[in-house]
Amino acid sequence: MASKFERSAEDFLKEESGELREVRPFEKYIINFVALSWTIFQMLLPSVLTLNSTYIRSIHLAFALALAYLSLPMFKYPKTSFGKTIAPMNKIAIHDYIFAIAGIVCATYLVWDWEGLSMRAGVPIQRDIVIGLLIIALTLEATRRSIGTPLAIIAAVFSLYGFFAENMPDLIAFKSVSLSKYINQIALSTEGIFGIPIGVSANIVFLFVLMGAMLDKAGAGKYFINLAVSLLGGFRGGPAKAAVIASGLSGMVSGSSIANVVTTGTFTIPLMKSVGYPGEKAAAVEVAASTNGQLMPPIMGAAAFIIAEYVNVPYIQVVKAAIIPAFTSYLALLYITHLEACKLGIQGLPKDKLPGFMKTLLSGIHYLIPITWLLVELVVLRHTPQMAAYRTVLLLIAVIFYQEIKNALKNKSSFSEGIKNSIKLTFDGFVTGAKSMVGVALATAAAGVVVGMVSLGIGGMINEIVDTIANGNIYILLFVTAGASLLLGMGLPTTANYIVMASLTAPLIVKLGTAYGFIVPLMAAHMFVFFFGILADDTPPVGLAAYAAAAIADSPPIKTGVQGFMYDIRTAIIPFMFIFNHDLILDGVTSWSFGIFIFIIATLGALMFASAVQGWFVTKNNILETILLLASSLFFYRPAIISNFFHINTDEAHKYFFIVVPIILVTIVYFMQKMRVKKLEIV
């Protein structure tokens, strides 16, 4: 059980939901009480409680630490007798109770000694230093338990580096930090653990994760799957197309790649295999679809809310920037499943196995009410994400009561039985939402250690190194950033990966772009890092989403990860394109008609790139056709290349006149392949 290659889908789900331990009944009550208390606290913030932002962050971290130590053993799958003693899987160890209590006391230190800390800001006393060290140690250990060792190690390495920086070679040296300065920056101010990332986690992300958990408990996940199957299941490769749509809908509200794989993949992967998809390809489709769920507005995972804070724009601007890349990416994945079906000769599901679309749609249409209301709150009423999520959760509670009372009356049970079921579902949603937030809260807190060290001097040093490597070349910088994001993301969740890389490289991308002669919007730089952080979830050899899917499909994990990454290359190309063509993230685009036009040509670019990479358009590509398809994709994404090549001066709108070039290239490939197919049919 210790190897990630041997874990079952249930293991991944338990890890994701923080329920690894099969604790004793009274301990389960303790854990549920802490989780419920956390949710109630978060629900009171937008409506009743008015607290200092630092207080909110401290209490938020205190709950996360308590739940982490109570729910998660020191080792996930202990094998030795010593390991089982210090990390029991059937009860909470005594030292974990101590760590949980210490976590609560230390994390709330900024609350119960706020005045004293304010009076001696920058000059911590011995007690401050001791408690500060405890906050850091407890946070990193809880992070290790909840999301794995890499982030804890990275934070520790950055911290140690700060102490010994003056002893390093000249290229990587800077002024070392003292212990008091380190503690003050990382644990006693809002520049480290209690910085912007955990503030976003506390004020916004929690409510969105809670909403996703409640939708799942209410049965929305199963509804999305059935709806997708009823709509697309009958087409060629229908189950794979249904998997893409279902994962997109689920990812829209869950924001977690692994949770998406385990919940939707349990149904869609066997369905894909049943019509002829090989195990690794069925799993890879689910991985690619689930990974990209973090791109889908309106939720887009926790990192998207942090983007809004870092770029200092309303969240709706992040949604606007993501909408074309997200939808074109999903349409291209649908197209890839079609190409795979063509190559493998796979048909759709027979009609007698398909649920009726209208019947399925109407059976759970009440699940769409909260999602629609959330969009209204964000897009039409322009309320803050916190208030929009809060009101949507309240509406969702009402929907759950409606559903359960209706079901009780339909099944000829009593009205009180419906109320009882409603309360239970709401309670389960509240508890699950809190447990699901542990990893996010701790990821943002631990990443805050890295951010704090960056601002103490490491950031400037790394920028100099990266600048030296790039040698003023924006293209090299982008490849270095993309590679580093994928490398870090092999062990980090998307949120932590984004925070670290955005702190280190996003400002440098903007700076070098200006030096290279063109403007890179700050939003484009942050979205670039965000995209590659997401793609790391299926990057071999440590793509956890691929492992989870492989466990369901009973396929080789590495092979599944490689195949999933091949499917996701279509997403990897998009960030490079919007760095050079800002229209793709609708930067400065105010016209609906122009926005739709950009969406159409971006989709064509994504489809042609998918055809080139998959080696199939109408039929199997030859080398020339692949080159023409790649060229057409590039020109669809960035038509200014043509005008720049011929030194034709055009304004921003007129560059799209050259779209005729990629259209001609695609037409040539189409007729070349049609003629080849026709000859084969004659023969």
> What is residue 127's three-state secondary structure?
helix
Per-residue confidence band for 669, with pLDDT thresholds at 50, 70 and 90:
very high
Strand spans (E) along 70-175: none
DSSP secondary structure string, 218-240?
Answer: HTHHHHHHHHHHHHHTTSTTHHH
Residue 371 CB coordination number (10 Å): 19
Q: What is the rounded average pLDDT of the residues 654-669?
A: 90
Question: Higher pLDDT residue, 422 or 85?
Answer: 422
Percentages (nearest 5) of helix, strand, coil residues in the chain: 80, 0, 20
Q: Which pLDDT score is estimated for 682?
A: 65
Please determine, for residue 1, whether its predicted confidence score (pLDDT) is greater than 50: no
Q: How far apart are CA 37 and CA 360, in angstroms?
A: 36
N-terminal to C-terminal alpha carbon distance within the chain: 55
Backbone angles phi, psi at 620, to 5 degrees: -65, 135
Query: Do you find a cis peptide bond into 541, omega within 30 degrees of 0?
Result: yes
Six token digits for residue 389:
């999520």
Q: What is the rounded average pLDDT of the residues 557-584?
A: 88
Any idea how long the chain is? 683
Backbone angles phi, psi at 473, to 5 degrees: -100, 115
Q: Which pLDDT score is estimated for 253?
A: 63
Please determine, for residue 350, whether its predicted confidence score (pLDDT) is greater than 80: yes
Per-residue confidence band for 252, with pLDDT thresholds at 50, 70 and 90:
low
DSSP 176: P
Please determine, for residue 595, whether its predicted confidence score (pLDDT) is greater than 80: yes
Beta bridge partners, 616, equal: 620
Q: Which pLDDT score is estimated for 203?
A: 92
Q: Measure the CA angle with vertex 430, ends 433 and 24; round to 5°.
A: 90
Q: Which pLDDT score is estimated for 9?
A: 58
Six token digits for residue 341:
């079906």
Proportion of the chain above pLDDT 70, given as a percent: 93
Distances (CA, A) of 509 to 458, 502, 522, 605: 17, 10, 9, 24
Q: How far apart are CA 298 and CA 61, in angstroms?
A: 25
Proportion of the chain above pLDDT 90, given as a percent: 42
Task: Quick: pLDDT tens for 284-306.
Answer: 998 888 888 778 877 777 778 88
Task: Quick: pLDDT tens for 374-409.
Answer: 889 988 888 888 999 999 999 999 999 999 999 998
> What is residue 620's three-state secondary structure?
strand
Q: What is the rounded average pLDDT of the residues 362-380?
A: 89
Please determine, for residue 579, whether its predicted confidence score (pLDDT) is greater than 80: yes
Beta bridge partners, 386, equal: none
Q: Which pLDDT score is estimated for 67?
A: 96
Six token digits for residue 207:
């409510």
Q: Which pLDDT score is estimated for 612?
A: 95
Contact 474, 580 (CB under 8 A): no
Distances (CA, A) of 599 to 149, 323, 596: 40, 9, 5
Q: Which pLDDT score is estimated for 212?
A: 86
Q: What is the rounded average pLDDT of the residues 184-211?
A: 92
Q: Which pLDDT score is estimated for 256?
A: 67
Please determine, for residue 274, whether its predicted confidence score (pLDDT) is greater than 60: yes
Q: Which residue has the tokens 């994390």?
A: 107
Q: What is the rounded average pLDDT of the residues 128-135?
A: 96
Per-residue confidence band for 2, with pLDDT thresholds at 50, 70 and 90:
very low
Distances (CA, A) of 567 to 77, 264, 323: 32, 18, 20
Query: Do you find a cis peptide bond into 298, omega within 30 degrees of 0?
Result: yes
Question: Higher pLDDT residue, 519 or 416?
Answer: 416
Beta bridge partners, 620, equal: 616
Q: How far apart are CA 445 and CA 438, in angstroms?
A: 11
Task: Quick: pLDDT tens for 513-542.
Answer: 777 667 889 999 999 988 888 887 666 666
Please determine, for residue 633, whether its predicted confidence score (pLDDT) is greater than 90: yes
Q: How far apart are CA 514 and CA 119, in angstroms?
A: 42
Q: What is the pTM of this model?
A: 0.89
Q: Which pLDDT score is estimated for 478?
A: 87
- Give pairs for 675-681: CB < 8 Å, separation 24+: 676/619, 677/618, 677/619
Six token digits for residue 347:
């048909």
**How far, rounded to the nearest angstrom, does the alpha carbon of residue 585 sit from its chain's CA centroid?**
18
